[in-house]
Amino acid sequence: MVAVVSCNHFPDDERIYHKQVKSLLNAGYEVLYFTRSDHALDLSKHSLTHKNSSTNTSLSVFIERVIHSIKLSSEIQHIQIHETDLLPLFKKIKHCSPSICTIYDVHENMESLYRTFSNRPKPVKEILIKVRNYNEKRYLKFVDQIILANPPMKIEPYPTKSTTIIENFPKIENLNQSISNKKGIENSIIYHGHLAQERGIEDLVSAMKYVRESIPSASLSLVGTFRTEDFECKTKNLIGKLRLESSITILNQVPHSEIWPMIKEHKVGVVPFRRTPLTEENTPTKLFEMMICGLEIVVSNLPPAQHFLSDSVHWCEPENVQSISNSIIDACNMQGNSVNVKKNLELIQQGYSWEHRQDDYLALFIDQ
């Protein structure tokens, strides 16, 4: 039996549930899945037991609930966590059940995340980063295996640990759904994911003014939730100032089952990330999701995307509105299933899929 624990992700998270948990279930494992979320989803079925706590539950209480459940089961051999905040759980687990294999899935470089989002003065920020790194390091002795989601991610913090890179590639089944009856609306553009400043949303909105001057029928869908109310207000004011209300649609985060058809409805996908410590290291999952849906892709020329792609996308300069608009116009002018789309689908089929990484993931649960 495997215990999978997350305190900050949605229960039906693409990486955790739809890829990892489902792979474990399909391989014959029983899974005990702990989440902390206000989304009323009960994913329990057959060999999966899902135990959810509300976000009002403190982290310490959540950890104690997990430990209590694990103590009641003598069959758990592996436990995987998905957040740094859960590392204290491993210390307690090793004290009561030292034979359990502990797996730490590092989705993002937390130091880069903090450098990108913290508004504290730089000296204070640097001190807090050192404290955070120290706390992580002192718990690593209770970790048996480490998963990194990004090849560019620094491995130096984990020199003595067994580290495996498991990229966040899409599943081939989504390719089968996407390429059949592909009917992307001409000159339709989409961005999906968090709507935030570092994601280049203001730059994309500003670029649409120039795109519309060249292609009057062009439209943009922004699909996701705003990181802050202030940024939501700022973005909507910008759309009004540029008189783009009729050509830009903002949609709330949609259920997992609806995102693939929605992406497929568009012709061009845009990943206009700004250059930050985080975007310099983290690979945008949406890039592969757009590839598998057969879209022309406009993406900022940052190292993570450059690691995987070369000439099958339209590159743009981060924070350069003119560069972004020119690349979008070029992408809109591509005909049908272009050479770019075909190359990207081949890349998915040849290696950029979850199915190509699944065996490496499952190997972590084979008793040594």
Cβ count within 10 A of residue 274: 19
Q: Are residues 346 and 358 in the same domain?
A: no
Show the low-confidence residues of the chain (pLDDT under 50). Answer: 180-181
Q: List, in sequence order, every residue forming a beta bridge with 296; answer none if it has no partner.
A: 268
Smallest CA-to-CA distance from 208 within 222, 228, 225 is with 222
CATH for 322: 3.40.50.2000
Q: Are residues 124 and 180 in the same domain?
A: no
Q: What total of structural domains would you count in the chain?
A: 2
Q: Residue 284 domain-assigned?
A: yes
Phi and psi angles of residue 193, each rounded to the nearest 5 degrees, phi first? 135, -165
Does one domain contain both 137 and 210?
Answer: no
> 298 and 186, same structural domain?
yes
Q: Nearest CA to 259 among 219, 298, 293?
A: 293
Residues contacting residue 368 through CB under 8 Å, at least 6 positions apart: none
Q: Which residues share a beta bridge with 50?
A: 33
β-bridge pairing 266-271 and 48-53: unpaired
Claim to verify: residue 37 and residue 165 sit in the same structural domain: yes
Structure confidence at residue 5 (pLDDT): 97
Place of tokens 């099958």: 312
Q: How far is CA 36 from the centre of its chain?
A: 18
Bridge pairing between strands 314-316 and 248-251: unpaired
Are 218 and 147 part of one and the same domain? no
pLDDT attached to residue 154? 57
Q: Is residue 85 part of a domain?
A: yes
Does residue 116 sit in the same domain as residue 251? Answer: no
Residues 293, 92: Cα–Cα separation, whole Å = 43
- Distance from C-alpha of 209 to C-alpha of 311, rounded to nearest angstrom: 26
Query: By C-alpha distance, which of 87, 98, 86, 97 is closest to 59?
Result: 86
For the stretch 227-263, pLDDT in tens is 899 999 999 999 999 999 999 999 987 777 788 889 9
Contact call for residues 297 and 331 (beta carbons, < 8 A): yes
CB 204 within 8 A of CB 272: yes
Instruction: Tell me whether residue 368 is in a domain.
Output: no
Domain identity same for 313 and 255: yes
Q: Are 71 and 100 in contact (CB under 8 A)?
A: no
Residues 6+ apart with CB under 8 A from 300: 200, 271, 272, 273, 274, 275, 279, 315, 316, 317, 318
The pLDDT score that the predictor gives to residue 255 is 73
Same domain, 163 and 300: no
Q: Are residues 224 and 323 in the same domain?
A: yes
Residue 92 Cα distances to 40, 64, 73, 128, 143, angstroms: 29, 9, 16, 25, 12
Query: Within a domain: residue 17?
Result: yes
pLDDT given at position 32: 96
DSSP secondary structure letter of residue 109 = -
Say whether both 54 and 11 belong to one domain.
yes
Burial class (CB in 10 A: 0-12, 13-18, 19+), 28: exposed
pTM of the predicted model, to two decimals? 0.84
- Domain, as residue range, for 79: 2-169+354-363
Give the pLDDT score at 92: 93
CA-nearest of 121, 8, 131, 10 to 59 is: 8
Q: Are residues 183 and 165 in the same domain?
A: no
